[in-house]
Amino acid sequence: MNLNKPKKLSSRNRNAKKVILAVTAVSVVIAMSCVTAFAAVSTTDFINKTSTVLTAVISLIGAGLGVWGVVNLIEGYGNDNPGAKSQGMKQFMAN
């Protein structure tokens, strides 16, 4: 009768967990030291620049998705099957 006992980790997996723990601890210490290094930066300037960059990135992502949608739409109309075009138009008009 198997009661789904947890398997013991191999030594390789245990060592990998230790390495991941050590790397995480070191990265937290480095991140905390970076915070103190950038404490002299004006918060409002940082927020304004971050807002500008995020606005630009989101606009570019939206434009890329729009272009991708138009290309997919044009590819659909270039299909050799005329029935697919009429089906797409029926769905468009129904919604």
- The structural domains of the chain, with segments of one domain joined by +, span 12-41, 43-95
pLDDT digits (tens, 9 = 90+) for 28-52: 888 877 776 666 667 788 788 889 9
77, 85 in Cβ contact below 8 A?
Answer: yes
Q: What is the pLDDT of residue 9?
A: 64
* pTM (two decimals): 0.40
85, 79 in Cβ contact below 8 A?
Answer: yes
76, 85 in Cβ contact below 8 A?
Answer: yes
Span of 16-20, 45-49, 87-91 with lowest mean pLDDT? 87-91
Q: What is the pLDDT of residue 38?
A: 64
Distance, in Å, from the CA atom of 43 to the CA atom of 64, rounded to the nearest integer, reads 31
Report the pLDDT averaged over residues 68-90: 69
Percentage of residues of the chain with pLDDT beyond 90: 20
